[in-house]
Amino acid sequence: MAATKTVPRRTTGKTRLETVEEEPETTRLVVPVDPGGDHIQGPLAASLTLVEYGDYQCPYCGAAYPEVKKIQKQLGSKLRFVFRNFPLSRIHEHALNAAETAEAANAQGKFWDMHDFLYEHQDTLGDPGVALGFAKKLGLDIQKFQHDLSQHTHQSRIKEDFNGGVRSGVNGTPTFYVNGLRHEGAATARELVKALEAPK
Amino acid sequence: MKTTMVQSSKKRLRTRASKNRQGNNQQKSTDAVKKNGSILVAGKKAPNFSLNSTPDQKVSLTDFRGQPVILAFYPADWSPVCTDQLSLYAEVMPEFKKHNAELLAISVDNIWSHLAFSKDRKLNFPVLADFEPKGTVSRKYGAFKEKIGEAARALFVIDDKGVIRWSHLSPDGVNPGADGILLALENLNRNQPVVQG
């Protein structure tokens, strides 16, 4: 349904308001997938792209985590999956620290191991010893890992992910973008695969 | 499955920031909106009001003359969508502050409900009670649902002179996010609309 909008039009130095017919807006991902900076699983040139804005402490993200795994299994190399940080730290007190933990692991090449671990151990997020134990198991340089956490080395990147998400219309977590458009359906493998494979 | 992991860098920050701006410019103008059912539209003078933010403190729109104000009318404290919406705004507050903007959330709930709600959700902006006479301010903005007796989920961005520059009405169950507000704040200095009535 086309909406009627009043938009400003530049005339002689002043803007006046006019009413025009406009197609409804679709919420789009405004920060394109960046192979140099994003966390990406799957081939860069994959034909299908799923972007998740997620919060490690959010129970709905926890529920979506195995759904994403199912989607990846089902679509294989046709899909590239991108994870971006969207910690709602005021309501989830451990979300920012968890995001920093994953980013500290990323700095040593182990982002996805830590990402998966955090989602699989959501109930332990309040105990930093748990993730630290996993970092040791991964063979990370623990001194550097702890330094990154205590100095909040990766907070700016997390903030950047967050702000990009806000500009793309992320309004809660998880929010998924299917081939660049916000997914309005359920965060289930079934709904997401249907959206991913819909004709473009 | 091939996995790619790369550390962030300053270059990446710059690239993303510029892409971000580009993306915004491609969005259709939301500087002034429309019909929106019956809510007040861009170009209208924002009606003044004075509502309680605490049991003994009132907040008036005119208190903020000289800076942009975001009004977020919402149906009710505690309902899931509002919770997400206002929690999100609490997180985005530093971005609103970059525009020197103040955010005021308004519903018809009473001040005691607001206080508990605000504390529970750690909100960092005033939550105003449009409680008695119920919905008076919501009505002035065309954002009151008579049959249900609640405010509609309506957003307004008001400029430093007290003129509405953007407004948006969402369906009740839809959290409008913050992207429209941020775009409207950015557009404040770009387009100066002719004030109507």
Contact B102, B64 (CB under 8 A): yes
Region A117-134: what's the mean pLDDT?
96
Can you say how many angstroms the Cα of residue B87 is from the centroid of all Cα atoms in its chain? 12
pLDDT of residue A14: 37
Residues of A within 8 A of B38 (CB-CB) are none
Q: Which domain holds residue B88?
A: 29-187
Q: Which residue of A has its CA nearest to B95?
A: A163
Q: What is the pLDDT along chain B (197 residues), one digit of tens a residue?
A: 333 333 333 333 333 333 333 333 333 333 333 444 589 999 999 999 999 999 999 999 999 999 999 999 999 999 877 668 999 999 999 999 999 999 999 999 999 999 999 999 999 999 999 999 999 999 999 999 999 999 999 999 999 999 999 999 998 888 999 999 999 999 997 766 555 54
Residue B182 contacts A where some CB pair is shorter than 8 Å: yes
Per residue in A27-81, pLDDT (tens digit) is: 899 999 999 999 999 999 999 999 999 999 999 999 999 999 999 999 999 999 9
Contact A57, A92 (CB under 8 A): yes
Question: In this prediction, does ipTM exceed 0.95?
Answer: no
What is the DSSP-derived secondary structure letter of residue A138? T
Q: Which domain holds residue A134?
A: 39-197
pLDDT of residue A15: 38
Q: Which two tokens stand for residue B54?
A: 């605490």
Residue B6 within a domain: no
**How sure is the predictor about A200, in pLDDT bands with cuts at 50, 70 and 90?**
confident
Region A138-162: what's the mean pLDDT?
98
Residue A86 distance to chain B (closest CA, Å): 10
Residue B145 within a domain: yes
Residue B19 within a domain: no
CATH number at residue A97: 3.40.30.10
Q: What percent of chain A has pLDDT over 90?
A: 85
- Split into its structural domains, chain B has a count of 1
pLDDT of residue B172: 82
Residue B1 contacts A where some CB pair is shorter than 8 Å: yes
Residue B10 within a domain: no
Residue B147 within a domain: yes
pLDDT of residue B11: 38
pLDDT of residue B84: 83
Contact A112 B34 (CB under 8 A): no
CATH number at residue B130: 3.40.30.10
- Split into its structural domains, chain A has a count of 1
Torsion of CA B181, B194, B26, B38, to 10 degrees: 50
Inform me whether the pLDDT recorded for A151 exceeds 70: yes
Catalytic residues of B: 82
Inform me whether the pLDDT recorded for A22 exceeds 70: no
Contact A145, A104 (CB under 8 A): yes
Residue A93 distance to chain B (closest CA, Å): 11
Which residue, among A7, A169, A13, A170, has the nearest Cα to B28 in the 3D structure? A7
State the CB neighbour count (10 A cutoff) for residue A183. 20
**How sure is the predictor about A25, in pLDDT bands with cuts at 50, 70 and 90?**
low
pTM: 0.82
Of the residues A4, A14, A15, A184, the best mutation for testing chain B's interface (the one with the most B CB atoms within 10 Å of its CB) is A15
User: Beta strand pairing status for B57-60 and B50-54?
Assistant: antiparallel
pLDDT of residue B194: 53
pLDDT of residue A6: 45
**How sure is the predictor about A16, in pLDDT bands with cuts at 50, 70 and 90?**
very low
**How sure is the predictor about A199, in pLDDT bands with cuts at 50, 70 and 90?**
confident
Residue A15 within a domain: no
pLDDT of residue B193: 57
Residue A17 within a domain: no
Residue A177 within a domain: yes
Per residue in A127-141, pLDDT (tens digit) is: 989 999 999 999 999
| Chain B residues 12-51 with CB within 8 Å of chain A | 12-13, 15-16, 19-20, 23-24, 26-29, 31-35, 41-43
Residue A6 within a domain: no
Burial A19-45 (b: 16+ CB within 10 A, else e): eeeeeeeebebbbbbbeebbbbbbeee
Specify burial of residue A126 (Cβ count, 10 A radius: 0-12, 13-18, 19+): exposed
Residue B132 distance to chain A (closest CA, Å): 30
